[in-house]
DNA sequence: GCCCTCATAATATGATCAGATTCTCGGAGG
DNA sequence: CCTCCGAGAATCTGATCATATTATGAGGGC
């Protein structure tokens, strides 16, 4: 079970983006990352290529690689895409999950709530991610699930800024709705619950972010 | 205007996938491609990483890289995603195109028609691609347009099989509808025209493909 | 005399390669 | 049917070359 170095590097950098360790506009260098992680440049280069292909990173000019800045247009597109993709994933997942998965989801939801109460932003973001993709994984989807992944990669850095500014105080947890829809096996209700979750997350950002 | 080798390699392989030079299930090796193109393995490795991240290629086990096979589920998701993304791109593009772009599109549409009449499948696929992405480029989209790219990468090999089997005989050209909607500046009509185009393409595949 | 500008040098970073090493697959032999 | 090689492919490194960015300093204008 030994994963290749480029895969480990990829996951490490991806998580940095996903959970907001890197903020929009921040530049990274291949050599810098190579030194930091303790590998040669080649595996880092490959990880960077994958991440730029996924939109998690962006080439600026011909030398610098940065976390993409998001403007109002891109933000609107991100909303549009997540609202299209994620409810559909939830719909498909609902038809496939068993009761064991549902209890796992409920357990993760507990973690989310605890993180909110504790005001632990990184933990909240991590557990929230876990909840969504634990669900989406069971959609058994080769197309939509990777799309959702790339959308979250764009969403992460932005969301991190908001959470850092406001804390977890005004985070409302809409996962209970989702879990109860799953228990009933109601695919449409599940899709609707996820749609609301997505919309609510974006409301928070929209209201508390001034687009320079 | 000298592009790096890994970029050239990426484009070369991407076009192979996009226009069906590689068929689903076909395996490629890094060394093989490196030798074929005449570069070292490193740039090829980077190109492969990008393409796998985009879903154009797929790791089978830990050794072989192949063009993904598509089953009925994935196909349905591909339909769903294209129907969501591409009309929206068309909608946004409609609000930004000028008359010069419209004439370019009309010119490309001529090429498409000629390719259909000539029964030239590769040319048809190439010009059809050009038409769509010439339009989408003007949507000025950082999120949706790359998504459409990856969807076409999955669509290409499949479409190529169909075209190879039936020729261009039953290809209906719905681009004229799109162009005329653009001329009127009617964003909704443009979106609808593209939606029909997408649906019609999928009808052909759905009807003429038995899912083993 | 001071500050700005532009050319040039120094440094950092990226791109590519060839080779050493590790790993996987497939077949031969038990 | 399982285990153990061997061929070939992939991975990773360090070196080398190319190029972008930054630092430096001379010259000219205010």
Same domain for B45 and B19: yes
Cα A164 from chain centre: 16
Predicted confidence at residue B211, as pLDDT, reads: 65
B113 — contact with chain A (CB < 8 Å)? no
The CATH number linked to A58 is 1.10.10.10
Cα Rg of chain A (Å, integer): 18
Distance between CA atoms of residues A191 and A193, nearest Å: 5
The verdict on residue B165 lying in a domain is yes
Give yes or no for CB of A31 within 7 Å of strand C: yes
B31 touches strand C (CB under 7 A): no
pLDDT band at A163 (very low <50, low <70, confident <90, very high): confident
> Does residue A39 sit within a domain?
yes
Note whether residue B56 is domain-resident.
yes
Tell me which nucleotides of strand D come within 7 A of a protein CB.
Answer: 9-15, 19-21
Identify the pLDDT of residue A211.
67
Please give the average per-residue pLDDT across B201-205, as a whole number.
85
**Residues A139, A142, A147: CA angle, nearest 5 degrees:** 90
State the distance between the two ends of chain A, measured CA to CA, in whole angstroms: 47
- CA proximity to A174, closest of A67, A63, A86, A59: A86
- Answer yes or no: is A212 within a domain: no
- State residue A90's pLDDT score: 97
Choose among A74, A143, A150: nearest Cβ to B77: A143
Residue B72: pLDDT band by 50, 70, 90 thresholds?
confident
pLDDT higher than 70, residue B68: yes
Helix, strand, coil share (%) of chain A residues, nearest 5: 70, 5, 25
Assess whether B33 and B132 both reside in one domain.
Answer: no
Q: Which of A17, A77, A145 to mutate to test the interface with B (most CBs of B within 10 A)?
A: A77
Are B80 and A144 in contact (CB < 8 Å)?
yes
Report yes or no on B166 lying in a domain.
yes
CATH assignment at residue B191: 1.20.120.530
Q: Residue A78: what pLDDT?
A: 95
pLDDT of residue A64: 83
| CB within 8 Å: B143 and A42 | no
Tell me A25's DSSP state: T
> B109 and B21, same structural domain?
no
Residues 170-209 of B with CB under 7 A from strand C: none
- Cβ contact (<8 Å) for B55 and A146? yes
Residue B212 within any structural domain of the chain: no
Residues 6 or more apart in contact with residue A7 via CB below 8 angstroms:
none
Residue A154, in any domain of the structure? yes
Poorest-confidence range of A25-34, A119-128, A166-175?
A166-175
Given a cut of 60, whether residue B212 has pLDDT beyond it is no
For a pLDDT cut of 90, what percent of chain B falls above it? Answer: 70
Banded model confidence at residue A1, pLDDT cuts 50, 70, 90: low
pLDDT tens track for B136-164: 999 999 999 999 999 999 998 988 888 88
The verdict on A91 and A144 lying in the same domain is yes
pLDDT exceeds 90 at position B174: no
Chain A residues lying within 8 Å of B154, measured CB to CB:
143
B30 interaction partners in chain A (CB closer than 8 Å): none
Give the H or E element holding residue A60.
Answer: strand A58-60
The per-residue pLDDT for A54 is: 94
Range of the domain at A159: 72-207
Please check whether residues A108 and A123 belong to one and the same domain.
Answer: yes
Domains held by chain B: number: 2
In terms of CA atoms, which chain A residue is nearest residue B6? A49
Chain A residue numbers with beta carbons less than 8 Å from the beta carbon of B6 are: 49
Tell me whether residues A78 and B154 touch, CB distance under 8 A: no
Look at residues B49, B66, B83 and tell me which one is the last residue of a structural domain: B66
- Whether A163 maps to a domain, the answer reads yes
pLDDT of residue A212: 58
Q: Would the CA dihedral through A134, A139, A140, A144 be positive or negative?
A: negative
Q: Do both B97 and B192 map to the same domain?
A: yes
Q: Quick one: B85 and B35 in the same domain?
A: no
Chain B residue closest in CA terms to A155? B143
Range with the poorest average pLDDT among A11-25, A155-169, B137-151:
A155-169
Out of A45, A55, A68, the one facing B46 most closely (by C-beta) is: A45
A-chain residues near B202 (CB < 8 A): none
In this predicted structure, what is the pLDDT of residue A83? 97
Do residues B127 and B93 both lie within one domain? yes
* Any strand C atom closer than 7 Å to B154 CB: no
C1’ C3 / CA A30, Å: 38
Last residue within a domain, chosen from A14, A43, A66? A66
Three-state DSSP at B68 gives coil
Q: What is the pLDDT of residue A197?
A: 94
Q: Are residues B25 and B62 in the same domain?
A: yes
Question: Which of A66, A96, A111 finishes a domain?
Answer: A66
Does residue A188 surpass a pLDDT of 70?
yes
Say whether both B160 and B180 belong to one domain: yes
Chain A residue numbers with beta carbons less than 8 Å from the beta carbon of B150 are 147
Does residue B119 sit in the same domain as residue B57?
no
What average pLDDT does this structure show over A168-184? 88
A91 & A35 share domain: no
pLDDT above 90 covers what percent of chain A?
Answer: 71
* pLDDT digits 0-9 by tens, A19-48: 888 989 899 999 999 999 999 999 999 999
| Facing B147 at nearest CB: one of A42, A50, A81 | A81
Of B45, B141, B150, the CB nearest to A46: B45
What's the pLDDT score for residue A160?
87
| Residue B7, min C-alpha distance to chain A (Å) | 10
């Amino acid at each position: 079970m030994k994963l290749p170095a480029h895969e480990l590097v990829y996951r490490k950098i991806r998580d940095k983006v996903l959970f907001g360790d890197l903020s929009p506009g921040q530049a990274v260098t291949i050599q810098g990352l190579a030194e930091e992680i303790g590998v040669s440049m080649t595996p880092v280069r490959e990880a960077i290529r994958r991440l730029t292909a996924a939109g998690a990173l962006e080439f600026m000019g011909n030398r610098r690689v940065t976390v993409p800045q998001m403007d109002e247009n891109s933000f609107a597109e991100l909303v549009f895409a997540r609202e299209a993709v994620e409810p559909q994933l939830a719909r498909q997942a609902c038809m496939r999950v068993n009761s064991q998965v549902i209890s796992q989801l409920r357990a993760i939801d507990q973690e989310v709530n605890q993180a909110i109460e504790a005001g632990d932003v990184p933990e909240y973001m991590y557990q929230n991610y876990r909840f969504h993709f634990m669900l989406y994984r069971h959609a058994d989807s080769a197309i939509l699930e990777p799309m959702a992944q790339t959308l979250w990669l764009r969403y992460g850095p932005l969301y991190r800024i908001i959470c850092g500014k406001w804390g977890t105080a005004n985070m409302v947890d809409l996962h209970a709705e989702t879990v109860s829809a799953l228990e009933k096996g109601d695919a449409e209700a599940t899709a609707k619950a996820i749609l609301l979750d997505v919309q609510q997350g974006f409301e928070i950002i929209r209201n508390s972010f001034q687009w320079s």
